[in-house]
Amino acid sequence: MAITDSSQTFDQVPPPRTDVPVGDPAAGTPERSPGAERRARSLRATTLTARARRVAADYRDRAIAPSIISGLAALLEFSFLVIAGVAIHASMIGDVSLIELGYLGPALGAPMLAVLAIHAADGYSVAAFRRGHRRLGRALALWTSVVGGFLAAMFVVGVGENIERGWLGLWFVGGLLAIIAATITMTVAVKRWTALGRLQQRAVIVGGGAAAEELIKAIDAGGNNEIRVLGIFDDRADDRSPENIGGYPKLGNIDQLVVFARLAAVDLLIVAIPITAEHRLLQLLKSLWILPVDIRLSAHASRLKLRPRSYSFVGSVPFLDIFDKPIAGWDSVVKRAFDILFASIAIVMLSPLMVGAALAVRLESRGPVIFRQKRYGFNNEVIEVMKFRSMFHEMADPAAAKVVTRGDPRVTRVGRFIRRTSIDELPQLFNVLRGELSLVGPRPHAVNARTEQQLWDEVVDGYFARHKVKPGVTGWAQVNGLRGEIDRREKIEARVQYDLHYIDNWSVLFDLYILFLTPIRVLNQENAY
């Protein structure tokens, strides 16, 4: 439920969010309910049952998205087909560098057409590779049709007259062998990943009772093996919500679900509560929208019937989409490749500056050059972020107990300069290569960061939603002037607003835009001490 407005430019201040289920829906702005601080402290103290901890430990490794499997399979098969055609021609003429241009058309075009045809026939789905022999027969038939079409074009239209007939026969057979090899490779891989539980969406059912039991029966009856239900979470503790439903255990209440979802690699939350229970749904979504998971409302037993395209389906079971996990599937692969590429380039280009900064820090005061601080990372995991040390070693504050202010005596002369110019942040490029940070994202905050003696998750409802993606070395809030000291609650509220806007509107172009603005905006800001 992202905010997407094609007329909105990157420089516009994000509007108040109206798509998050907090506060008064009619007001369009979050409303701090009584006792929010007490609830936040209670959530941090929430513990899981031994059974829930065991389940979370068993499913710690993240599932592989079906879209990634499909993309990898298509790329593998296309590569095998092209290699087969080129290798056969090279073996006939004795030198791959002498391949004639006339052969490149069929050697590249036919594999591309075959891959498109197989994709249209759903031949790259996980389900297809679970039935490898059927998939193989269909793929071979489509390859035969593509080659047959090419041969027909040769004789009817007169293209490819210079291509040797001997190569055509070997090319066709080589393509058959390439498809067999690709199918066997992916079938074995899919079976292995299935055995390890990596190809099923890890789902948790929210809400118990008869609605949950009917949903479980419908999912099990589908028999498509797409979802692995880990358990049930429900706030009710009476007869309406027994400890075991449809063979699945009740693992805890909603507060415990938030903790569980951060320990286990949960992909999907299925809310098995009637649409008519509006107040209860709103309260649940208020607690759950901060998690980096897909949230779906079960429509299996609903009497409200919408058009089929209004639903998403698992097998034949319909769901209404409430929230989508941001930057998932191939988007996450693209963003990771972007991070590795540009972080590597930045490290090479900025290495003289980093060496100079390290020497300056070391020469001015004793102590280590690198300062390490525990901060919140993706999904509230605590990571250790690196910076050039800007304080006197004996006055360092790794717990962030005291905010750095203008003229702070703990900060060295070199430290003031590298903090103002953000040179102290450059070691975080190595955090990016390690996969703990992204180049662009919400800035990671210290775990004990606070304003007016309140932790920031107590100041801002939905604060932890900014951790639905990896934190970044730079971010949308920072290039819009939100750096430095946070001495008023309005400042952290504004940062979170910009962070959520970035998450909702992420794209590679948006990341490039923020990277381009970073050196320009950072060098013109005076509020970093």
Q: What is the pLDDT of residue 35?
A: 43
CA distance 441 to 476: 7
Tokens of 99: 């391949």
- CB-based burial, 436-468: b 16+ in 10 Å, e otherwise: bbbbbbbbbbbeebbbeeebbbbbbbbbbbbbb
- Assigned CATH topology for domain 36-63+200-323: Rossmann fold (3.40.50)
Read off φ and ψ for residue 253, nearest 5 degrees: -100, -175
Q: Tell me which H or E stretch contains 268.
A: strand 268-271
Q: Where are the domains of the chain?
A: 36-63+200-323, 67-195, 330-522
CB 486 within 8 A of CB 499: no
DSSP 237: -
Query: Within its chain, how far is the Cα of 207 from the centroid?
Result: 26
| Partner residues linked to 205 by β-bridges | 232, 270
Q: Tell me which H or E stretch contains 371.
A: strand 370-376
CA distance 432 to 122: 36
Q: What is the pLDDT of residue 39?
A: 47
Task: Count CB neighbours of 490 within 10 A.
Answer: 11
Sign of the CA dihedral running 231, 237, 241, 242: positive
Nearest by Cα to 52 from 204, 273, 201: 204
Q: What is the pLDDT of residue 19?
A: 45
Q: Which residue type, as a one-letter code, is found at position 419?
A: R
Q: Divide the 529 residues of the chain into consecutive groups of 10 and give the mean pLDDT of each group.
A: 38 44 39 44 64 88 86 94 85 59 74 94 90 92 90 70 75 93 94 84 84 81 74 79 80 88 88 76 84 84 56 73 88 94 95 94 90 89 91 76 73 87 92 95 85 78 88 92 78 90 94 92 64
- CB-based burial, 129-156: b 16+ in 10 Å, e otherwise: bbebeebbebbeebbeebbeebeeebee
Query: Within its chain, how far is the Cα of 56 from the centroid?
Result: 19
| pTM confidence score | 0.78
Nearest by Cα to 249 from 48, 50, 46, 51: 51
Instruction: Tell me what percent of the chain is helix, strand and coil, each rounded to the nearest 5.
Output: 50, 10, 35
Q: What is the pLDDT of residue 106?
A: 79
DSSP 269: E
